[in-house]
């Protein structure tokens, strides 16, 4: 009988408590580690911590069903039908995947500039709450509460999640589903200011050990999700 890896079990406990976990995708993908925590629990202090300690782009990964209910497409689908279609990534443009998961960049309508820690925390938290609402069967008028362009990137997970794509977007959403929390996760790449590249896997593991966090391999989330959904 297969069991869920200990790192995933511990990661589930951590995110249920609103704590940060570190997810590493894979050597043959981006080879990056992301900070991950529930969008519904994001505070201004968390945003500040993400930008200081991780340093990458702070995004919100959401379940595809919620994206459908909000009417949020992939940004590439919008651009393909515009005069800027030549900008759209084509087959081979991305060396680590077939496509990116970016949808729209938004601010909550109660924000001012949208970029401050308080503004971004509000936008992220409200996105998480909206995802929880629509997936519980309650309607939500996304356009009434958010505007674009904004300062928080929404990432739309693949329609079949890990069966289709195993990026940070899908891995974080799958971890949320395993934990039984709303599948809207704030994520941010860990960058190395010394090398100018992503933080190495070994350094990310050391960081998790020294900062009361959990380092989770993407392949372990894939295995756990497959086990819990009966696909393994």
Contact present, 200 and 194 (Cβ < 8 Å): no
Of the residues 59, 108, 119, 170, only one is catalytic, namely 59
Of the residues 89, 97, 117, 151, only one is catalytic, namely 151
Of the residues 34, 46, 170, 220, only one is catalytic, namely 34
Q: Is 189 tagged catalytic? A: yes
Q: Is 53 tagged catalytic? A: no
Residue whose entry in the numeric block shows the structure tokens 């990026």: 167
The C-alpha atoms of residue 86 and residue 82 are separated, in whole angstroms, by 9
Contact present, 129 and 101 (Cβ < 8 Å): no
Q: Is 211 tagged catalytic? A: no
Q: Is 96 tagged catalytic? A: yes
Residue 122: partners with Cβ closer than 8 Å, 6 or more residues away: 108, 110, 111
Q: Is 81 tagged catalytic? A: no
Q: Is 151 tagged catalytic? A: yes
Of the residues 32, 107, 188, 207, only one is catalytic, namely 107
Contact present, 148 and 106 (Cβ < 8 Å): yes
Of the residues 96, 110, 141, 159, only one is catalytic, namely 96
Q: Which residues are catalytic?
A: 34, 59, 96, 107, 151, 189
């Amino acid at each position: 009988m297969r069991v869920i890896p200990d790192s995933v079990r511990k990661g589930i406990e951590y995110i249920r408590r609103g704590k940060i976990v570190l997810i590493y995708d894979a050597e043959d993908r981006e080879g990056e580690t992301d900070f991950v925590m529930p969008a519904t629990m994001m505070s201004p202090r968390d945003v500040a911590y993400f930008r200081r300690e991780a340093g990458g782009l702070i995004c919100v990964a959401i379940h595809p069903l919620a994206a459908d209910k909000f009417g949020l497409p992939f940004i590439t689908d919008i651009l393909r039908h515009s005069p800027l279609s030549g900008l759209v990534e084509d087959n081979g443009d991305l060396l680590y995947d077939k496509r990116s998961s970016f949808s729209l960049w938004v601010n909550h309508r109660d924000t001012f500039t949208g970029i401050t820690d308080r503004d971004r925390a509000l936008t992220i938290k409200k996105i998480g709450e909206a995802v929880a609402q629509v997936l519980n069967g309650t309607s939500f008028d996304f356009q009434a509460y958010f505007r674009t362009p904004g300062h928080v990137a929404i990432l739309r997970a693949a329609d079949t999640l890990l069966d289709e794509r195993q990026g940070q977007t899908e891995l974080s959403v799958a971890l949320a589903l395993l934990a039984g929390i709303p599948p809207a996760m704030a994520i941010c790449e860990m960058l190395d200011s010394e090398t100018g590249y992503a933080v190495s896997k070994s350094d990310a593991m050391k960081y998790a050990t020294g900062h009361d966090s959990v380092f989770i391999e993407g392949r372990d989330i894939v295995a756990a999700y497959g086990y819990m959904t009966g696909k393994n």
